[in-house]
């Protein structure tokens, strides 16, 4: 495999990192989605990968608004993306309560319907649909979530004969 | 959020459009609750014009499904679900909780 390892992707930067700030309110989720769908298209992702990125960012932004900013309707989400050779890197930053992904239990999906519990599904979806996600917190910079979605290789590169 | 409901002999069809996310999930929940509060537990959700469904929306559907299937009195089924939405549900292993029909007519006919 010639593509970059994910750890390398996280440290990689192009000249095209773009950012936009959004007030941390649920009614802005659609604007955040529009921004990121545009980014995914720019990066050349197909429809399915674009939806995956949209879903992951929506879940992340919802968590920031409801948990990091505790639903106060205050605080800013800075959404950035970087179009890389292999896909797209997305960074979400907030100054809310430190987020500890370890504290969120993975939802138990293989249970009868009546036992399904509404917790942790958003984070679980993010992990499932993205190729990698990383959470960091520092008192100075707040929460930083970095996600990467790989672009599907075009078929004619792998086809033989 | 625009929501329309149509009553058939054996079920109610609820149709909405656009995005279902954390901002409008409460409204979506209220519309479904209105149906089950009326004692109707056979529900078709027409998703032909829904282009995005976040986990907040799935929880509304899971809770509604719990209410509908309680005592085997009914079921919530989905119709015309966008491929990407189906894929996301399949990825997290939750496709088993909902029957999905290609169109509203076959969904209504299933009751």
Of residues A57, A43, A56, A15, the one with CA closest to residue A150: A43
Q: State whether B19 and A47 contact (CB < 8 Å).
A: no
Average pLDDT over residues B62-83: 96
Ordered per-residue pLDDT tens for chain A, 161 residues: 445 556 566 666 666 789 999 999 999 999 999 999 999 999 999 999 999 999 999 999 999 999 999 989 899 999 999 999 899 999 999 999 999 988 888 888 888 888 888 778 999 999 999 999 999 999 999 999 999 999 986 554 444 43
Instruction: Report CB contact under 8 Å: A30, B19.
Output: yes
Contact B62 A29 (CB under 8 A): no
Record the tokens describing residue A152, joined without a space.
């599907």
Would an 8 Å CB–CB cutoff place A27 in contact with chain B?
Answer: yes
Distance CA B29, CA B25 (A): 6
A26–B contact, CB cutoff 8 A:
yes
Domain-wise residue ranges, chain B: 3-105
Is A6-150 CATH 2.102.10.10?
Answer: no
Pairs of CB atoms within 8 A across A/B: 75
- The answer to whether the CB atoms of B55 and A125 lie below 8 A apart is yes
Q: Give B74 or A110, the one with higher predicted confidence.
A: B74
In the prediction, which pLDDT does A1 show?
A: 41
Q: Which of B17, B47, B72, B18 is nearest to A114 (CA)?
A: B72
B58 chain-A contacts, CB cut-off 8 A: 121
Domain extents for chain A?
A: 6-150
Q: How high is the ipTM of this complex?
A: 0.93
Q: What average pLDDT does chain B have? A: 96
Does the beta carbon of A63 lie under 8 angstroms from any beta carbon of chain B?
no
Q: Is A52 on the interface with B (CB under 8 A)?
A: yes
- Kindly state whether B59 is in contact with chain A, defined as any CB-CB distance less than 8 angstroms: yes
Which pLDDT score, from 0 to 100, does residue A2 have?
A: 43
What pLDDT shows up at residue A49?
Answer: 94
Pick from A62, A109, A128: CB nearest B22: A62
> Helix (H, G, I), strand (E, B), or coil: what is residue A127?
helix
The three-state secondary structure class of A139 is coil
pLDDT bucket at B91, cuts 50 / 70 / 90: confident
Q: Does the beta-carbon distance from B58 to A121 stay under 8 Å?
A: yes
Asked if residues A25 and A131 have their Cβ atoms less than 8 Å apart, the reply is no
Give the mean model confidence (pLDDT) for residues B102-110. 97
CATH of domain B3-105: 3.30.750.24
> Torsion over CA of B21, B67, B8 and B37, rounded to 10 degrees?
-90
Distance CA B91, CA A103 (A): 22
Q: Regarding predicted confidence, which is higher, A32 or B89?
A: A32
B65 shares contact with chain A (CB less than 8 Å): yes
Q: Provide the β-strand partners of residue B78.
A: B45, B100
How far apart (Å, rounded) are the C-alpha atoms in residues B102 and A15?
Answer: 45
DSSP for residue B10: S
Query: What is the pLDDT averaged over residues B28-39?
Result: 98
Facing B23 at nearest CB: one of A26, A55, A124: A26
Contact across the interface for B19 and A110, Cβ inside 8 Å: no
């Amino acid at each position: 495999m010639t593509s970059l390892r994910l750890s390398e992707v996280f440290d990689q930067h192009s000249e095209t990192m773009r950012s936009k700030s959004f007030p941390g309110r649920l009614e802005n989720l659609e604007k955040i989605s529009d921004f990121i769908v545009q980014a995914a298209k720019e990066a050349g992702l197909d429809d399915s990968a674009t939806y995956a990125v949209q879903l992951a960012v929506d879940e992340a932004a919802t968590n920031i608004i409801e948990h990091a900013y505790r639903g106060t309707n205050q605080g800013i989400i800075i959404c950035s993306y970087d179009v890389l050779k292999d896909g797209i890197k997305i960074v979400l930053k907030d100054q809310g309560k430190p987020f500890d992904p370890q504290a969120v239990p993975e939802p138990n999906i293989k249970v009868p319907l009546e036992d399904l519990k509404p917790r942790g599904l958003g984070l679980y979806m993010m992990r499932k649909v993205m190729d990698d996600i990383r959470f960091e917190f520092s008192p100075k910079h707040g929460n930083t979530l970095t996600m990467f979605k790989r672009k599907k290789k075009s078929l004619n590169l792998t086809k033989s004969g | 959020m625009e929501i329309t409901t149509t009553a058939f002999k054996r079920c109610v069809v609820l149709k909405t459009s656009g995005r279902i996310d954390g901002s409008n999930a409460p409204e979506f929940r209220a519309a479904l609750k209105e149906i089950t509060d009326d004692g109707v537990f056979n529900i078709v959700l027409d998703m032909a014009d829904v282009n995005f469904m976040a986990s907040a929306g799935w929880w509304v559907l899971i809770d509604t499904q719990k209410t509908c299937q309680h005592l085997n009195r009914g079921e919530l089924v989905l119709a015309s679900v966008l491929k990407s939405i189906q894929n996301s549900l399949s990825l997290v292993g939750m496709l088993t909780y909902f029957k999905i029909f290609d169109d509203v007519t076959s969904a209504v006919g299933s009751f």
